[in-house]
């Protein structure tokens, strides 16, 4: 593609100038690989963008989308519906832990976050506690690109350009601490006490009667793979229960086998009051997200209105879109038929061992992992206005490996169909890149 042809597309979260001077174009994908426009095989170590958990262009998912597009391309979700949306809601809630047995469909994690915040406000209002309007996020948290998600999120670069956001928001400290937890395998031992900040500082400042919800990623992905310390999420759950705060898990990245079981909530044994899912829900094939809620949250809002009235003034044109529900149902079938959540748990120890073999490579200051996700943090050096992690990204791409970088951290989250030999290939190419960028 010539430079003239690539100017119209304003690319998201990208250096448009640099890319359009030297484009990296993908033309097809299959299983564990992309194919570039120059015919190169590119081993996908990031599941696209944390979402292609079952690998690319899986036949059952492709066929389901094609079949649905030929049968019914669109169905409105306002005051009517189609069967697959209800079937999917039942299947997802049956997979979810605890009593998360209602699903509100949206089209992305960003929309899911904003939806969950609105549900929290609506629930407290219907419950006679309309003063509960404060939201608690976490520093370095990522909750999408909407104004609500940016407000409760805590990544500085995502916030600084947009000025005022939601007015009543506070943030817990992040859980990252190299001094105590460097090179931890799985959940680190230090850091559960960081959850006490919710009670000691934040609740003391705002008063619990004003706080609507606490929203966190069980494992923070986009900020650099920050794994929850042992006992940390359990403490958050206990404090939220004590003060009647809703606990929301953003499982957009961690859902559908990434940490081993279907959800990170299952992996840590903590059930939230709401859960946001997207990405792996449709294997990235069609945009879709959902907010799963407790039974009593749904009932409190719905039963607060008279029959034949709209109980919750919120929704999207594409909520429960027929192509998305077809893709999601086929994706769940693929996960189940191929035992991919079990496979994730079985492959995790091998993945962990392989990734931690990079510990002594140049500029590596930390490696952290949980399930089939890992972060390799490099020295915060900048060379020619480029971080070492981004230089490694370019080296890997040219060698046939797709990794993801966020700041000084290389993030890996390969499809769950990955083989041991492909894990070895990732480590070999990445190790060579780390050596080259140090020279």
DSSP string, 103-129: EEEESSHHHHHHHHHHHHHHHHHHTT-
Distance CA 87, CA 91 (A): 6
Q: Are strands 246-250 and 211-216 parallel, antiparallel or unpaired?
A: parallel
Look at residues 376, 420, 426 and name the one whose alpha carbon lies nearest to residue 401: 426
CATH number given to 16-54+340-437: 3.90.1150.10
Phi, psi torsion values for 41, nearest 5 degrees: -80, 130
Supply the pLDDT for residue 3.
Answer: 56
- Which positions ≥6 away from 231 have C-beta within 8 Å? 192
Distance CA 359, CA 183 (A): 8
Distance CA 395, CA 397 (A): 6
**pLDDT tens, the chain, 439 aa long:** 555 588 999 999 999 999 999 999 999 999 999 999 999 999 999 999 999 999 999 999 999 999 999 999 999 999 999 999 999 999 999 999 999 999 999 999 999 999 999 999 999 999 999 999 999 999 999 999 999 999 999 998 888 888 768 999 999 999 999 999 999 999 999 999 999 999 999 999 999 999 999 999 999 999 999 999 999 999 999 999 999 999 999 999 999 999 999 999 999 999 999 999 999 999 999 999 999 999 999 999 999 988 889 999 999 999 999 999 999 999 999 999 999 999 999 999 999 999 999 999 999 999 999 999 999 999 998 766 789 999 999 999 999 999 999 999 999 999 999 999 999 999 999 999 999 998 7
Supply the pLDDT for residue 51.
Answer: 98
Architecture of domain 63-337: 3-Layer(aba) Sandwich (3.40)
Distance CA 211, CA 135 (A): 6
Q: What are the boundaries of each domain within the chain?
A: 16-54+340-437, 63-337
Look at residues 103, 109, 91, 100 and name the one whose alpha carbon lies nearest to residue 334: 91
Q: Are strands 274-277 and 289-294 parallel, antiparallel or unpaired?
A: antiparallel
Neighbours of 342 (CB within 10 A): 14
Instruction: Decide: pTM greater than 0.75.
Output: yes
Supply the pLDDT for residue 409.
Answer: 97
Distance CA 309, CA 312 (A): 9
Supply the pLDDT for residue 2.
Answer: 53
CB 195 within 8 A of CB 242: no
Look at residues 207, 120, 106, 235 and name the one whose alpha carbon lies nearest to residue 166: 120
Supply the pLDDT for residue 383.
Answer: 66
Full strand arrangement of the beta sheet holding 246-250? 100-106, 289-294, 274-277, 246-250, 211-216, 134-138, 169-172
Distance CA 351, CA 328 (A): 27
The secondary element (H helix, E strand) that includes residue 352 is helix 340-356
Supply the pLDDT for residue 402.
Answer: 98
């Amino acid at each position: 593609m010539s430079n003239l042809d690539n100017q119209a597309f304003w690319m998201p979260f990208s250096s448009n100038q640099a890319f359009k001077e030297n484009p990296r174009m993908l033309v097809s994908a299959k299983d564990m690989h992309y194919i570039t426009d120059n015919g190169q095989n590119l081993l996908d170590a990031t599941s696209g963008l944390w979402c292609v958990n079952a690998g690319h262009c899986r036949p059952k998912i492709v066929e389901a989308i094609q079949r649905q597009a030929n049968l019914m391309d669109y169905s409105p979700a306002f005051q009517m519906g189609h069967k697959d949306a209800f079937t999917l809601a039942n299947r997802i809630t049956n997979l979810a832990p605890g009593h998360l047995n209602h699903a509100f469909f949206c089209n992305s994690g960003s929309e899911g976050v904003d939806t969950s915040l609105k549900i929290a406000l609506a629930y407290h209002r219907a419950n006679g506690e309309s003063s509960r309007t404060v939201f608690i996020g976490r520093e370095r948290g990522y909750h999408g690109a909407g104004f609500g998600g940016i407000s409760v999120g805590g990544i500085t670069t995502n916030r600084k350009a947009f000025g005022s956001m939601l007015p009543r928001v506070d943030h817990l400290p992040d859980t990252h601490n190299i001094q105590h937890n460097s090179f931890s395998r799985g959940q680190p031992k230090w850091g559960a006490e960081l959850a006490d900040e919710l009670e000691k500082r934040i609740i003391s400042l705002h008063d619990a009667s004003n706080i609507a919800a606490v929203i966190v990623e069980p494992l923070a992905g986009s900020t650099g793979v920050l794994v929850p310390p042992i006992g940390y999420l359990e403490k958050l759950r206990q404090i939220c229960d004590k003060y009647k705060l809703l606990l929301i898990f953003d499982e957009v990245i961690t859902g559908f086998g990434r940490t081993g079981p279907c959800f990170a909530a299952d992996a840590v044994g903590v059930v939230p009051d709401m859960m946001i899912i997207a990405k792996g829900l449709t294997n990235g094939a069609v945009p879709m997200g959902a907010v799963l809620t407790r039974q009593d949250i749904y009932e409190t809002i719905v039963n607060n209105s008279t029959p034949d009235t709209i109980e919750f003034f919120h929704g999207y044109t594409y909520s429960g879109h027929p192509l998305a529900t077809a893709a999601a149902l086929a994706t769940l079938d693929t996960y189940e038929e191929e035992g991919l959540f079990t496979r994730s748990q079985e492959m995790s120890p091998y993945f962990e061992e392989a990734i931690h073999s990079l510990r002594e490579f140049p500029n590596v200051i930390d490696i952290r992992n949980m399930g089939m996700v890992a972060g390799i943090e490099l020295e915060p050096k900048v060379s020619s206005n480029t971080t070492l992690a981004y230089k490694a990204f370019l080296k890997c791409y040219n060698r046939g490996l797709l990794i993801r970088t966020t700041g000084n951290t290389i993030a890996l989250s390969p499809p769950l169909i990955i083989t041991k030999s492909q894990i070895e290939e990732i480590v070999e190419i990445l190790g060579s890149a780390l050596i080259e960028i140090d020279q």
